[in-house]
């Protein structure tokens, strides 16, 4: 989201508003210090909850010097923030548990969004599908960062179970886990797993259309610490969702509530393979999930909806009343 879209309707007479995100994780403390030393307002947008996410992914050690220092910095940053925007209620609950009593009232839930240019396109019309010869096979696509928070190893196990059933898994993107996955797929001789380089933004809509099902994974233990943003683009593309995550995760619950796909635990390759078989052999179910996915996007996850909620948050801040209630946007409580 461009800053102009957020600030253009804010009354300039209300003073400066500093909005920062948690990635990279140590940037927000600069805004918190500025808030402490000035009359500027500070809004923190939380993409991932640190240091808990780093601990969960074993990027840092539990109880290490870095962990202890990070906790102190994190607490200072949260207390200084006038508003804390989170991507889901589960994430809000995690942050509320880290804050002093009463500070949870500053937490606001604003879900992420997808680009308005992404729309449902039949797979056979996708240039990406044509280029990689994906039109005549049933394609399950993961598109996004190939990192540690996705636990994509289960995809390779499911692919091995479906090797002779006309199913192809595509992994589109780059990241720290990509070479490991490529080596693992090669060592197992998985010819039904394809790795495709990350596409530029202007080709994203076409790339997302090069599949029958969108795979949305989340590693075990990351519930409430991170929200897979590729979920919203998959909905916009009108693709049925295969949520590979804890069934109690917020995105998993959304998939069930909106009837736009299936949910399987991230550690259960057999259940993932069975879910793919079910979608592969039931075109009516596949079509229903796809329609419902697009409807969920249009109802809940558009760019205009997100911008209006951010504007409401920023407009609520002024020098006279730091803790005024927010009239728009979804408060945590």
pLDDT digits (tens, 9 = 90+) for 105-139: 999 999 999 988 999 999 999 999 999 999 999 99
Same domain membership, residue 21 and residue 128: no
Asked whether residue 133 is domain-assigned, the answer is: yes
pTM given for the model: 0.87
The whole-number pLDDT of residue 84 equals: 95
How many whole angstroms separate alpha carbon 80 and alpha carbon 87? Answer: 19
Asked whether residue 118 is domain-assigned, the answer is: no
DSSP characters over 56-93: HTTSS-TT-HHHHHHHHHHHHHHHH-SEEEESSHHHHH
Same domain membership, residue 175 and residue 279: yes
Nearest alpha carbon to residue 207 among 278, 115, 299: 115
Same domain membership, residue 8 and residue 89: yes
Half-sphere exposure of 305 (CA within 13 A, CB side): 17
Question: pLDDT tens digits, residue range 290-305?
Answer: 999 999 999 999 999 9
The whole-number pLDDT of residue 148 equals: 77
DSSP characters over 131-183: HTT-TTSEEEEEES--SSSS-THHHHHHHHHTTTTTEEEEEE---TTHHHHHH
Asked whether residue 83 is domain-assigned, the answer is: yes
Number of domains in the chain: 2
Rounded to a whole number of angstroms, the distance between the first and last alpha carbons of the chain is 26
Same domain membership, residue 94 and residue 174: no
Same domain membership, residue 37 and residue 158: no
Same domain membership, residue 287 and residue 170: yes
pLDDT at 1 over 60: no
pLDDT at 86 over 90: yes
Identify the domain containing residue 84 by its residue range.
3-113+302-331
Same domain membership, residue 320 and residue 306: yes
pLDDT, average across residues 260-273: 95
Same domain membership, residue 175 and residue 63: no
Say which CATH number the domain at 327 has.
3.40.50.2000
Same domain membership, residue 127 and residue 37: no
Same domain membership, residue 281 and residue 163: yes
Same domain membership, residue 8 and residue 98: yes
Same domain membership, residue 233 and residue 141: yes
Rg (CA), the chain: 21
Nearest alpha carbon to residue 286 among 204, 217, 214, 232: 214
Nearest alpha carbon to residue 58 among 220, 244, 229, 265: 220
């Amino acid at each position: 989201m461009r800053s102009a879209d957020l600030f253009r309707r804010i009354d300039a007479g209300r003073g400066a508003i500093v909005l920062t995100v948690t990635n990279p994780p140590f940037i927000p403390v600069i805004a918190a210090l500025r808030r402490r030393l000035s009359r500027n307002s500070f809004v923190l947008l939380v993409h991932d909850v640190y240091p808990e996410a780093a601990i969960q992914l074993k990027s840092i050690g539990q109880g290490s010097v870095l962990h202890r220092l990070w906790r102190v910095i994190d607490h200072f940053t949260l207390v200084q923030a006038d508003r804390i925007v989170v991507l889901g209620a589960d994430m809000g609950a995690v942050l509320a548990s880290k804050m002093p009593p009463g500070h949870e009232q500053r937490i606001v839930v604003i879900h992420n969004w997808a680009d308005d240019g992404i729309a449902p396109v039949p797979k056979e019309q996708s240039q990406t599908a044509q280029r990689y010869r994906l039109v005549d096979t049933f394609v399950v696509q993961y598109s996004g960062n190939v990192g540690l928070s996705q636990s994509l190893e289960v995809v390779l196990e499911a692919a091995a179970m479906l090797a002779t059933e006309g199913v192809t898994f595509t992994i589109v993107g780059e990241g720290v886990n990509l070479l490991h996955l490529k080596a693992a797929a090669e060592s197992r001789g998985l010819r039904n797993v394809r790795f495709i380089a990350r596409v530029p933004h202007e080709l994203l809509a076409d790339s997302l259309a090069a599949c029958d099902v969108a795979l949305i994974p989340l590693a075990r233990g990351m519930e409430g610490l991170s929200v897979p943003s590729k979920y919203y683009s998959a909905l916009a593309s009108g693709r049925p969702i295969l949520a590979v995550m804890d069934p109690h995760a917020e995105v998993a619950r959304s998939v069930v509530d909106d009837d736009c796909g299936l949910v399987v635990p991230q550690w259960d390759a057999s259940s993932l393979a069975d879910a793919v078989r079910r979608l592969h052999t039931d075109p009516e179910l596949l079509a229903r999930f796809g329609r419902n996915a697009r409807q969920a996007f249009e109802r809940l996850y558009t760019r205009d909806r997100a911008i209006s909620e951010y504007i409401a948050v920023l407009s609520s801040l002024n020098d006279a009343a730091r803790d005024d209630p927010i009239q728009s946007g979804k408060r945590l409580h």
